[in-house]
Amino acid sequence: MVESAAPKVIGIDLGGTKLLAGAIDEGLEVYARVDRIVHGLNERDILDTIVDSIDEVREVEPAIEAVGLGIPCLIDQRSGMAVIAVNLPLLDVPFRDILRERLGLPVFVDNDANVTTLAEQRAGAARGALDVVGLTVGTGIGGGIVIDGHIYRGYVGAGAELGHMVIDEDGPPCQGQCPNRGCLEAVASGAAIGREGSLAAEQEPDSALGAAIADGLEITGEVVTDLALEGDEVARMVLGQIGRKLGVGLANIVNIFNPEVIVVGGGAMAAGDLLLDPAREELRLRALPPGRELVRVVPAQFGAEAGMLGAGLLAFDELG
């Protein structure tokens, strides 16, 4: 554990399955970490887990000035309300006010992909760029937008839901509480990799994917990626198919925002260029010039800590 007198905040990344909290200084040095599983918890238990995690960090680093929280949820910035989450049981929860009262600290709340993108723009894969779009490709797909160095949130703070742009109106139903079909999240997420991998395994029983399903293994995005990295051509075909769908979304992003950099993170990025190369190719086939030639599509640098670090940066920014 590192010790320092530098001012510190706590950054918290609340995901659909787990929580990561850490005490952070302005140089993004992390002084204490706590992780918890939140999968299957109800709203009350999630709030209790957040508070317990903060208390545990404060036992190590008591001199905390504020808390920043990234949540996979639509946030109304006027009230700090977590309006609706696709993959967590959260509906109209006044996160900011509840946590301020329970902790006795300033608390700042934002969408998790917003703060992840902020971390990558300030100090990660897009460092030095002012106009950046971030995608977190995991079970779902989150989006964050930084314009001229500042998070863009939309009118009340609920914007940048890039994973819910519809790219195939007759596509598969989206996940959780999203009412759409054919969202980018529905066709290009880690869950989509698993779904398409299962179909490919049934159609190609002689492949490594086919052998896996014959052995009773659940075909997840992680399984498909692992087999692709080991050289299974059917698994690689699946990642190429998903990558091209992702590229359709990237082309839309380029045409709308003309970013300098698109940073792609999340668990699905374990596939690396097996996913990103087809996405880049599709982007350049579909996006308009000059944006398609100028944009850089790069993997995220910070990995699993990006949301926690970005939430800490949010807290420092809001403290001024």
Which CATH class name applies to 128-300? alpha beta
Residue 1 pLDDT: 47
Distances from the Cα of 127 to the Cαs of 29, 61, 62, 136, 320, in angstroms? Answer: 17, 28, 31, 17, 21
Report yes or no on whether pTM surpasses 0.85: yes
Tens-level pLDDT at each residue, the chain (320 residues): 455 678 999 999 998 788 999 999 999 999 999 999 998 899 999 999 999 999 999 999 999 999 999 998 888 888 888 888 777 888 888 889 999 999 999 999 999 999 999 999 999 999 999 999 999 998 889 999 999 999 999 998 888 999 999 999 999 999 877 899 999 999 999 999 999 999 999 999 999 999 999 999 999 999 999 999 999 999 999 999 999 999 999 999 999 999 999 999 998 999 999 999 999 999 999 999 999 999 999 999 998 899 999 999 999 999 98
Question: Which helix H or strand E contains 63, and what residues bound it?
Answer: none
Residue 229 pLDDT: 97
Parallel, antiparallel, or unpaired for β 141-147 and 18-25?
Answer: unpaired
Cβ atoms of residues 187 and 171 within 8 Å? yes
Residue 3 pLDDT: 53
Which own/partner contact pairs does 267-271 have at CB distance under 8 Å and 24+ positions apart? 267/137, 267/138, 267/139, 267/190, 267/221, 267/222, 268/137, 268/138, 268/189, 268/190, 268/193, 268/221, 268/225, 269/137, 269/299, 269/300, 270/222, 270/225, 270/229, 271/193, 271/225, 271/228, 271/229, 271/239
Distances from the Cα of 297 to the Cαs of 55, 155, 181, 243, 291, in angstroms? Answer: 38, 27, 26, 12, 12
Task: Name the architecture of domain 8-117+304-319.
Answer: 2-Layer Sandwich (3.30)
State the span(s) of the chain assigned CATH 3.30.420.40: 8-117+304-319, 128-300
Cβ atoms of residues 198 and 219 within 8 Å? yes
